[in-house]
Amino acid sequence: MVRGSFFKRNKDKKDKKQEKTNNEQENFSIEIGKDLEKNLDNIRKMLDKPNDLIIREFTIRHSDHKGALVFIDGLVDKDVINNRILLRLQRVNERRDLPSSDSKLFDIIYREIISVSDIQRSKTLDDVSNAILYGGTAFYLDGIDDVLIMDTKGWESRSIEEPMTEPVIRGPREGFVENLRTNMVLIRRHIQDPNLRFKTHQIGRRSKRNLVVTYIDGITHPDLLKEINRRLKTIDMDDAPESGYIEQWIEDSFLSPFPQFLNTERPDRVAFSLLEGKVAILLDGTPFVLIAPISIGNALQSPEDYYERWTIGTLLRSLRYLAAFIAIFAPALYIALVSFHQGMIPSKLAFSIAATRDGVPFPAFVEAFLMGVTMELLREAGARLPKTIGQTIGIVGGLVIGDAAVQAGVVSPIMVIVVALTAIASFSLPAYSVAISFRLIRFGFMFAAAIFGLYGIIIAYIMVNIHIVNLKSIGVPYSAPFAPSFFSDWKDLVLRAPIQVLTKRPTYLKTTDPESANKGGQKT
């Protein structure tokens, strides 16, 4: 509720701001007039005569009708403009005579002459500027206060490749690209269901960016959709260059360390989530698609779990739960055991840890913290460096951490093992955003362990749990299906039951069609 009013306040501010900007830019008219020159002047002024703005003025052949094509170089497919528009307009009366009246001519041009599939009539300058900035072409005809807007998009874009961030061993090799249309196609190709819906929103005050909400009608709960659409409408910022902006604007709790959306580059993952009854949000210009609502269990799932046989899938899942445990708790447990509860370490190990730590100048917490930070630095450096020299980091880091630090007596060898294990465990988590948040929590646990030992760890664990049970993703409890418990969902949580058994969609999503498969299979 508080959050709601927070938005409201913003909105009031925004309205005032909008008025102000409108006042400043009053030197060109918003409406499209009948005078071609004036119209062209308007658009030039609005965009401040950029040199990639191309205005091609011409006369329609054998007539004195003047026209102009407006588009931005580089965003358009020039072949389309040359062959489908310009050529046809210039050669128009090779076939027959043209009516002399402006409006009739305009009608004929719209209906018969221009052979572009996506064409619209429009009356405002805003539409024109939005269209041409998104690869459209505008056609003005002198004496008409209408304008034709044609879709002539044709810019360079990346081809479909295997996703960089989520490689799988078995599974489709295609990943989303920056182009919204291509991404929609990728999803359509996965789900050939007439009920697959794409709802478009325009995001951004200055940059108008297309955002598409995808779901399957008849599975997704209508309230969920309503809520997502409502939240998307509250978005009010200059631009959303990446889906991360959207995620952060509409998430339930901005203080939470846990991601409340899943982002993925994999169309198969999106398709799977849609069939579960979730909603995907695609944003133009980014290959990362958001999936919501999610729960804590989704964070440790990978599409590959379903591609492998169920025994393997279950093994991989449980391995991942173990990895999550190590990634969060290992350094904290090390601190608690080494500086508080030495009795818990088996005697011989305790003596040898004591021997190796002899001469280490720092308490275990400082030691663990130093190594943890170094590890994060290494990871960050490795991610930023060009690929060709990225390997250097591995060598340098391996040398510095593995050997030199121990030789110099700054850290103990056991600590190196713990840090390495933690790093490996956190790399093995399938979702990067989850791995990051686990890294964050890990430091919290380390602090708690340094203060209270094991008691601190359990207190911190309880606090994280309190947070999780109160957290929601688009209003859906984040802790489902653990609590509130839906036992029927448990067979696809740590376990991955055989495909034939997984006949239900997740209960916590309250799908309108709960069955996803027939247990007995089809009758033959």
Partner 1 sequence: MKWFEYGDEKISEREIMIAIPSMVIGVGILSLPRGVAAATTGSDGWITVLVSGIVIIFLTWMTAKLASSFPNKSFLSYSTLIVTKPIAVILTFLFAVTSLMITAYEVREISDIAKQYLFDRTPVAVIALSFLLVVVYAVSGSRAGIFRLNMMFLPIILFITLSVFVFNLGWFKLSNLMPFFQTSFTGYAKGISTGITSYMGFGIILFYVSLVEKPEKTPKYAVMGMCIPVVAYILLFVTCIGVFGHSVASNLLFPTIELAKEVDIPGGFFERFESVFFVIWIMAIFNTTVMAFDVAVLALSSIFKNRAKMTLMLFLTPLVYAVAMYPEDLTEVDTFGKIIGYITAFVTISITVLLTVIAKLRRVRQVD
Partner 2 sequence: MIRRKICFLISSVILFLLTGCWDQVDIEERGFVVGAGIDLMDKKQNGEYQIKLTNQFVVPSSLGTPAQGGGESKAFSNISATGESMYAIDQEMAQLTSRSPFFEHLKIIVISKDVAEIPNLFAEMMDIFLRDPEMRRGIKVLISDGDAKDILDVKPENEKLTAIYIESIMENSFKIASVLEPVRIGAVHAHLLDQNSYVIPKIAAIEKGLRYEGAAVFHGYDNKMIGELDGDETKGFNLITGNSKKGTLKIKLDEEIIAYELEEVKSEIRVDTKAKDNITISVKINVEGSIAETFGTQSLLKKKNLTEIQKQVEKEIEKIANHTIKKAQEELRADVLGIGNILKQRHYEFWQTVKNEWDHGENYFAKSKFNVSANAKVRATGSTNQTKNQWSDR
| Chain residues that interact with partner 1, rule: CB under 8 A | 1, 3-5, 7-8, 221, 223-224, 226-227, 230, 337, 340-341, 343-347, 452-455, 457-459, 462-463, 465-466, 468-470, 472, 474-477, 479-480, 482-485, 508, 510
In whole angstroms, the minimum distance from the beta carbon of 364 to partner 2 comes to 6
From the CB of 478, what's the least distance to partner 2, in Å?
Answer: 15
Which of partner 1, partner 2, none lies near 120, with the C-beta cut-off 5 to 8 A by kind?
none
By a kind-dependent CB cut-off of 5 to 8 A, residue 465 interacts, out of partner 1, partner 2, none, with partner 1
Number of residues that bind partner 2 (CB under 8 A): 29
Binding of partner 2 by 338 (CB under 8 A): yes
Shorter beta-carbon distance to partner 1: residue 40 or 469: 469
Name which of partner 2, partner 1, none residue 224 binds, using a CB cut-off of 5 to 8 Å depending on partner kind: partner 1
Compute the distance between CA of residue 345 and CA of residue 403 in angstroms, rounded to an integer.
25
Going by C-alpha positions, the residue among 498, 494, 514, 510 that lies closest to residue 299 is: 494
- 3-class DSSP assignment, residue 74: coil
**Segment near partner 2 (CB under 8 A), from 201-209, 356-364, 388-396, 397-405?**
356-364
* Residue 154 touches which member of partner 2, partner 1, none, C-beta under 5-8 Å by kind: none
Q: Are 148 and 158 in contact (CB under 8 A)?
A: no
Does 406 engage in binding with partner 2 (CB under 8 A)? no
* Cis, bond preceding 477 (omega within 30 deg of 0): no
Contact stretch for partner 2 (CB under 8 A) within 42-50, 143-151, 207-215, 338-346: 338-346
The structure tokens listed for 322 are: 């173990």
Stretch that binds partner 2, among 69-77, 300-308, 345-353, 484-492 (CB under 8 A): 345-353
Cα separations in angstroms, 106 against 101, 131, 137, 147:
9, 19, 16, 9
Residue 124 has which token pair?
């405002």
Bridge partners (DSSP) of residue 72 are: 53
**Residue nearer to partner 1 on the CB measure, 254 or 389:** 254
Nearer to partner 2, 60 or 337 (CB): 337
Kindly tell me which residue out of 164, 255, 389, 408 binds partner 2, with binding defined by CB under 8 A. Answer: 255
Name which of partner 1, partner 2, none residue 457 binds, using a CB cut-off of 5 to 8 Å depending on partner kind. partner 1
Beta-bridge mates of residue 147: 122, 140
Residue with tokens 């930070």: 373
DSSP lists the bridge partners of residue 453 as none
* The entry of partner 2, partner 1, none that residue 351 binds, CB within 5 to 8 Å by partner kind: partner 2
Measured in whole angstroms, how far is the alpha carbon of residue 517 from the centre of its chain? 29
In this structure, what DSSP letter does residue 111 have? I
- Bond into 293 cis (ω within 30): yes
Q: Based on CB atoms, which residue is closest to partner 2, 332 or 338?
A: 338
Provide the β-strand partners of residue 198.
214
Residue 135 contacts residue 155 (beta carbons within 8 Å):
yes
